[in-house]
Structure 1
Amino acid sequence: MTVELALHCARVRYGPLEALHGVDLVCPSARITALLGRNGSGRTTVLRALAGMAPLSAGRVVWRGADVTGTPAQVRARRGMFLVPDRGAVFGGLTVAENLALSSRTRNEPTGTETNPLPYPALSALLPRHAATLSGGEQRMLAVTRALLSPARVLLLDEPTSGMSPAHAARTYALLAAATREGRTVVVAETALSAPLADVTCVVHELRRGTVAFSGEPAEPGAPR
């Protein structure tokens, strides 16, 4: 197994409070890794630590064997890491089409055309609308689409299916699974192991109060349900 990302004894503090207490975990290359846990468990902080948005107070972040603990978030982004946060993942003052143009790997041709279709067909009718006017589920579809259209090799997504219908949630994980078959690495944070996620997940890390309570595959004994 080739490891794309790893945390080693990672600690993160928010003022006087420690959110991660010496976390060790790995994310395999070209697979989906799920970070599971309730609100406050530390899963979002793990994503932010991997992306460089939450500096470590101790420990290391390793990306393809290189220590990037002190590498700023913007540098990690330029090297191929794309974070979709749980909030503020789209530019509300821009149209859907303008949001997509900022991330597209194929800037010479607009997305949403017959030869360059959108991952979610439902977005096609929304291209002229400002992102702030979309529903929560539509904004998540736009945010995931921005990540998929980007050239990034590592996609970090915090609750990517929040607000989506069951059908769109299933499509989201099918799209993310397809991205891994293209060689991209996907790390998602979710509260629980939903059916669409269970169908595609390779590795699960369950977090509880800033520590890893379980690491392994969904079918293993003790895996979160």
Structure 2
Amino acid sequence: MSVEIALRGARVRYAPLEALHGVDLAVPAARLTVLAGRNGAGRTTVLRALAGTVPLAEGRVDWGGADVTRLPAYARARRGLAFVPDQRAVFASLTVTENLALAIRQGRDPGPAVAGVYPALSPLLDRRAATLSGGEQRMLAVARALLSPARLLLLDEPSQGMSPETAARTYALLGEAAAGGRTVLVAEQALPPALRAEASVVYVLRRGAVVLSGEPWEIPEESSAPAVPDPRDDRPDEQRG
């Protein structure tokens, strides 16, 4: 398998604390890769380093065979990288339609496009993102990435706040994206069972270092039991208890 993007000896520091300790990680092209690790393991920092939103103290980022370590985040986005962070992944003051319009190809109608991804968002096109539930905001963030022309998708806990049914659909959509030739890197607290059949490679992080990597069947079962999503989180805020 050819490599799409990789970290080479990556170290990231937040003030005096080092979050990544010389991480080597290669994401295969046109495949789905899972980065697993508990909170504080460094998985979010790995995605941010690849996306260019945090600088490396040491090491480099290679993308498509080129060193892009000094390339800013906006330039990486222009080159075809879409990043869905774990927080503040949508523009709260914009409507669902406006959020989607920022990402999709010019001239494409966001309405029919999003209906094919998350039908539940169709009645919400005129709503401001700030009024959506947590699960609905995650759907919007993931939909923006999937509907964009980006060939490299980085998603930090994409199923966060989603109902089990919506989370399953999300994983299926990401698998379809990889099968269609896009490179997908998903960070989760553990390897979701639904992604065992979709993923080509799994990396397990602990305390800022890769402690295990391999194909899904090589990852122990204790790394494949993510937290159970709250089925209420997809409902509008006024319906949540």
Q: Do Structure 1 and Structure 2 share a fold, with TM-score over 0.5?
A: yes
The corresponding residue for 1:206 is: 204
The CA deviation at 1:221 is 5.5
Check the 8 A contact 1:214/1:222 in 2, yes or no.
Answer: no
Change (3 A) 1:90 1:152: same
The CA deviation at 1:118 is 3.5
Q: 1:150 aligns with which of 125, 145, 148?
A: 148
Give the distance between the partners of 2:194 and 2:104, measured in 1 at CA: 26
1:109-166 C-alpha deviation (Å, 9 max, x unpaired): 32223x8734000000111111001110000000000001111110000000001111
The corresponding residue for 1:57 is: 57
Give the distance between the partners of 2:114 and 2:178, measured in 1 at CA: 20
Give the distance between the partners of 2:162 and 2:150, measured in 1 at CA: 24
Change (3 A) 1:68 1:78: same
Give the distance between the partners of 2:29 and 2:108, measured in 1 at CA: 30
The corresponding residue for 1:13 is: 13
1:112 aligns with 2:111: yes
The CA deviation at 1:217 is 1.0
SS at match of 1:38: coil
The CA deviation at 1:46 is 0.2
**Count of aligned positions:** 223
Segments of 4+ in structure 1 off by > 4 A?
none
Give the distance between the partners of 1:116 and 1:72, measured in 2 at CA: 29
SS at match of 2:213: strand
Instruction: Calculate the TM-score normalised by the size of structure 1.
Output: 0.95
The CA deviation at 1:199 is 2.7
The corresponding residue for 1:176 is: 174
Matches within 5 A, 1:117-196: 117-196=115-194
Instruction: Calculate the TM-score normalised by the size of structure 2.
Output: 0.89
| Letter aligned with residue 150 of structure 2 | A
Give the distance between the partners of 1:145 and 1:80, measured in 2 at CA: 16
Instruction: Give me the identity figure in percent.
Output: 65
Give the distance between the partners of 2:109 and 2:65, measured in 1 at CA: 36
| Letter aligned with residue 179 of structure 2 | R
Which deviates the most, 41-50 or 175-184? 175-184
Tell me how large the CA RMSD over aligned residues is.
1.3
| Letter aligned with residue 20 of structure 2 | L
SS at match of 2:203: strand
SS at match of 1:103: coil
Check the 8 A contact 1:202/1:218 in 2, yes or no.
Answer: yes
Check the 8 A contact 1:3/1:27 in 2, yes or no.
Answer: yes
1:32 aligns with 2:32: yes
The CA deviation at 1:181 is 1.9
Change (3 A) 1:180 1:124: same
1:50-75 C-alpha deviation (Å, 9 max, x unpaired): 01111110011110111111111111
